[in-house]
Amino acid sequence: MQSFKTAEQLAYDLRPDQPVYGFRPQVLEADAKRFMRLFPGKTAYAVKTNGEPQVLDVLAKAGVTCFDVASPAEFAAVRQAAPKAEMLYMHPVKAQSDIRLALETYGIRTLSLDHEDEIVKLTRVVQAMDIDPGQITVFVRLATKGAAAYELSKKFGAGPAYAVELLDRLTKLGHKTGLCFHVGSQIEDPNTYEQALKSADWVRNRMMGELAGLDIGGGFPADYGVDPASRGNGMPPLDELMARINSDITEWGFGDVPLIAEPGRVIVARAFSLIVRVMLRKGKRLYINDGIWSSLSDSWTGKITLPARFIPDPAIRNRNGDRAKVVPFKVCGATCDSVDILSRPFWLPETVDTGDWIEIGNIGAYSLSLRTRFNGFYPDTFCRIETPFDEDVKPEGRASLETMDGFREAAE
């Protein structure tokens, strides 16, 4: 992988016409270590967030020994990067053949579920393989309510009373049992975990067996930048949030229970940026070579404010000292699909033009993993960048809901 000091240097040296991912392994390592330092339990990196081999390699070297996996492809990716790592199969709805593969080929012994039919599938496999059920820990996923950019309990999770029923069934079958939840990705309210812990406590007090573990899932917010137009999500810095979660865990009496967290975003978001080129400027519209079907769907569907750095093309004009007013542009993606337009304007210096580059920061989470091959566009070029995005020249731009004169023109 080629290495550059900054994205600007990369753009000037390679003059890329295709999107390039700027990978910052040192940032990934630092963010993984920071999370592990702040969370007292086991850190199981959520592979779905970004399962690129180079990401898993760096995490394994940084000391991550446990991974949250959801599919056979993720089992294989983890086994390849970290052959001795533990895997937790935390997708609540699974194919029976995948359960068998997990247990038989990958030696996975921790799973989650939220429905009795999943217990039936698991039991069939356990009996067919003649495994002692006491070797398998099953986490029942609890539905939670909370404020997050992505709500996940609409799709998964058992209500508290049903969770008790499932846990008791599993105990009678001889399994060890745990409770897990996922409060939603990129939480926007620090009380969210406490509400989930309260609900877990309610369940724990009614279940017949002992709780073998509490898995507080993901949701820990990554540092994306604050949208001046949003009402502000009021999230404290990560160390404060984690201190709050840790004290809530103790207050709700889970301090002695083995703890797990499944962070995704908070570990990998800052490790990648995306260097895109403006293929065409048409008035207040910019047509770029990436979009919602490639690396930008997370920012399009979520409420993520991504920072953006303008990299003017020196071949077009002399940009020295050219720091123009920042104005909103409507950003259109690479494909022919008219849905492929970012839902929020990007604010960039008004001189941005055809041929310039934009470095979009902090796109490591749910960007590469959500890429499609639609229209034949599939960004797959990686370079290493030595300077952390935040330590380079201050980014002038951002995606934002912000309104001001000119915004309507850009957004229509």
What is the size of the binding site for ligand PLP (CB under 6 A)?
18
Smallest separation (angstroms) from ligand PLP to the CB of 259: 14
> Judged by CB under 6 A, which of 38, 81, 90, 170 binds ligand PLP?
90
Smallest separation (angstroms) from ligand PLP to the CB of 184: 7
Per-residue burial over 102-137, b = 16 or more CB atoms within 10 Å of its CB, e = otherwise: bbeebebbbbbbbbeebbebbeebbeeeeeebeebb
Smallest separation (angstroms) from ligand PLP to the CB of 152: 6
DSSP 270-333: GGEEEEEEEEEEETTEEEES--TTTT-HHHHHS----EEEEE--TTTS--TT--PPEEEEEEE-
Alpha helices per DSSP H over 88-187: 96-104, 116-129, 160-172
Nearer to ligand PLP, 301 or 354 (CB): 301
Give me 397's structure tokens. Answer: 């731009």
Judge whether 307 and 7 are in contact, CB under 8 Å. no
Interface positions, 261-280, toward ligand PLP (CB under 6 A): 262-266
CA angle 68, 70, 71 (to 5 degrees): 135
Stretch of 120-128, 161-169, 258-266, 382-390 lying at the interface with ligand PLP (CB under 6 A): 258-266
Smallest separation (angstroms) from ligand PLP to the CB of 103: 19
Strands 381-385 and 185-187: unpaired
Residue 217 touches ligand PLP, criterion: CB under 6 A: yes
d(CA 167, CA 214): 13
Residue 41 touches ligand PLP, criterion: CB under 6 A: no
d(CA 131, CA 300): 45
Residue 310 touches ligand PLP, criterion: CB under 6 A: no
Interface positions, 118-157, toward ligand PLP (CB under 6 A): 152
> Judged by CB under 6 A, which of 46, 58, 108, 138 binds ligand PLP?
46
Give me 239's structure tokens. Answer: 């160390």
d(CA 70, CA 47): 8
The SS3 assignment for 211 reads strand
Judge whether 142 and 165 are in contact, CB under 8 Å. no
Stretch of 17-25, 216-224, 288-296, 394-402 lying at the interface with ligand PLP (CB under 6 A): 216-224
Give me 219's structure tokens. Answer: 């949701």
> Judged by CB under 6 A, which of 41, 178, 213, 219 binds ligand PLP?
219
Stretch of 131-139, 259-267, 334-342, 399-407 lying at the interface with ligand PLP (CB under 6 A): 259-267
> Judged by CB under 6 A, which of 75, 220, 272, 407 binds ligand PLP?
220
Write each residue from 356 to 375 as x if it is in contact with ligand PLP (CB under 6 A), else as -, in one continuous string. Answer: ---------x----------
> Judged by CB under 6 A, which of 218, 349, 361, 379 binds ligand PLP?
218
> Judged by CB under 6 A, which of 68, 194, 227, 313 binds ligand PLP?
68
Residue nearest to ligand PLP (CB): 218
Give the Å distances, CA to CA, from 11 to 4, 313, 383. Answer: 10, 8, 11
Give me 272's structure tokens. Answer: 């990648």
Nearer to ligand PLP, 184 or 328 (CB): 184
Residue 345 touches ligand PLP, criterion: CB under 6 A: no
Residue 213 touches ligand PLP, criterion: CB under 6 A: no
Nearer to ligand PLP, 43 or 335 (CB): 43
Judge whether 111 and 138 are in contact, CB under 8 Å. yes
Residues of this chain that interact with ligand PLP (CB under 6 A) are 46, 48-49, 68, 90, 152, 182, 185, 217-220, 262-266, 365
